[in-house]
Amino acid sequence: MFYPEPSPGQTLADVLHALRRFVDEVAQRHPKTPPILYGNCQAGWAVAILSADCEGLVGPAVLNGSPMSYWAGEAGVNPMRITGGLLGGVWLAHLAADLGNGRFDGAWLAQNFENLKPEKAIWEKYAGLFAKVDTERERFLEFERWWNGFYFMSREEIVAIVENLFIGNKLENGEFRICNGCTADLRRIRNPLVIFASYGDNITPPHQALGWIPAVYKDTDDLKRAGQRIVYLTNPHVGHLGLFVSAKVARLKHRAILESLDEIEELNPGLYEMQIDNPSGDPDCHKPQFSVRFIERKVEDIDFAKQPESFERVRAVSEANEAFYRTFVSPWVQAATNPWIAETLKWQHPMRVSRYVFSEVFNPWMRVVAGLADVVAKERRPMSDNYPMIKNEREFFGRVSEAMEMVRELRDAGNEHVFRLLYGQNLFEPSQKKPGKDEP
């Protein structure tokens, strides 16, 4: 793994080469047992590239909520895909890295995720803690410590990622250049792939997790001729983080995936939907309490909306803006930036300020709150859930959340309208049927 602080000038190729050396070392220590690669979110495309670049080195690869088709998505449901176009492309990430003295602050990425559904990040998370303070405290603190462990990336890394993936969508087209003379081609992947996606995930919807398959393979026969086995399973409601952090539904599915890898490797080439039958209803059960079926599907069934030309225009605008910024602005920003400025901007980031301003280490007045909390904890007597004031309190929480959700939906609709005006009318193509769903 790489540390939260990147090495100076660290490139995406460095990351992938280091990952390859690590996997190669694991493979040498375990002969005849190719390592299983598990990639969550952005790690999924890194695992896919490694699989394409190192045929025969790795075993099955599991991609959880991993974006591979960055332009895919549904209008009104997946607003993150249009953010790059509204911001003018990669130049803004380049500017943030320049102001960070060559480092891009991962807090910006976490803030983007929270902005997707601010009602949850700003209100529901804390309202839920307040309503269930007797049982939620440790879980809340554990999640917050993990969520606020921001990593930094080098300027070279973040520019390459945004330019090639978020804006360029070059991975599914076989145009992602790792280094000189080396381009990632997903058709070279021969180890089985297991893709886990959720329709409740508005960061990496199934459109982005599965849409690359018909872009790489013309049809099912083409996939079979390539000798590839791709297994996917979807969830109707769990969110993006729920795919990784042991949500009840996801926990069972991860165990089912890992306990079924031998069966997956024995499948004939083709596309399969993995279905889990768990009559016990216990998310912590093991086989044979639950059973797994692999239903053969067709590549043609993955029939999401086609990639709109609007995003081609976004790429052209981004390339023009980045060329201008790199040539005429970036040298001046880099000359004016130093480690002191970068550190000041780091601690002024809203994701950090909103946390440390309430810390007694930073704010001495919070020691008074800590003292009062101890007194209240000793004398507090929780009321029954049926108490009228408790019911009114819960209703108030719900109304505030609904109001914030309404504002967020208006914001997203306005952003999509602006995007359509700027880049073209075909953003709002109708969504197609979901893959793997039997016809009525």
What per-residue confidence (pLDDT) applies to 393?
92
Residue showing tokens 């980045």 = 322
| Euclidean distance between the first and the last CA atom of the chain, given in angstroms as a whole number | 47
> Are 267 and 294 spatial neighbours (Cβ–Cβ below 8 Å)?
yes
101-121 per-position pLDDT tens digit: 999 999 999 999 899 999 999
What per-residue confidence (pLDDT) applies to 133?
86
Q: Check residue 56 and give left, alpha or beta (phi > 0: left; psi -120 to 50: alpha).
A: left
- Token readout for 226 is 């390539």
Integer Cα distance of 234 and 196 in angstroms: 6
Strand 229-235 relative to strand 270-277, pairing: parallel
161-199 per-position pLDDT tens digit: 999 999 999 998 888 888 777 888 899 998 999 999 998
Integer Cα distance of 250 and 243 in angstroms: 6
> Are 205 and 40 spatial neighbours (Cβ–Cβ below 8 Å)?
no
What per-residue confidence (pLDDT) applies to 435?
59
Burial class (CB in 10 A: 0-12, 13-18, 19+), 308: buried
What per-residue confidence (pLDDT) applies to 385?
83
| β-bridge partners, 231 | 194, 272
Sign for the pseudo-dihedral over CA of 261, 18, 315, 42: positive
Strand 61-64 relative to strand 193-198, pairing: parallel
For the whole model, what pTM was predicted? 0.88
Residues in the chain where the model's pLDDT stays below 50: 427-432, 437-440
Strand 229-235 relative to strand 193-198, pairing: parallel
- Which top CATH class is 12-126+149-301? alpha beta
Show Cβ contacts of residue 125 under 8 Å, excluding neighbours closer than 6 positions: 140
> Are 304 and 72 spatial neighbours (Cβ–Cβ below 8 Å)?
yes
Integer Cα distance of 301 and 219 in angstroms: 10
What per-residue confidence (pLDDT) applies to 128?
92
> Are 149 and 105 spatial neighbours (Cβ–Cβ below 8 Å)?
no
- Token readout for 399 is 């109304």
Integer Cα distance of 340 and 143 in angstroms: 30
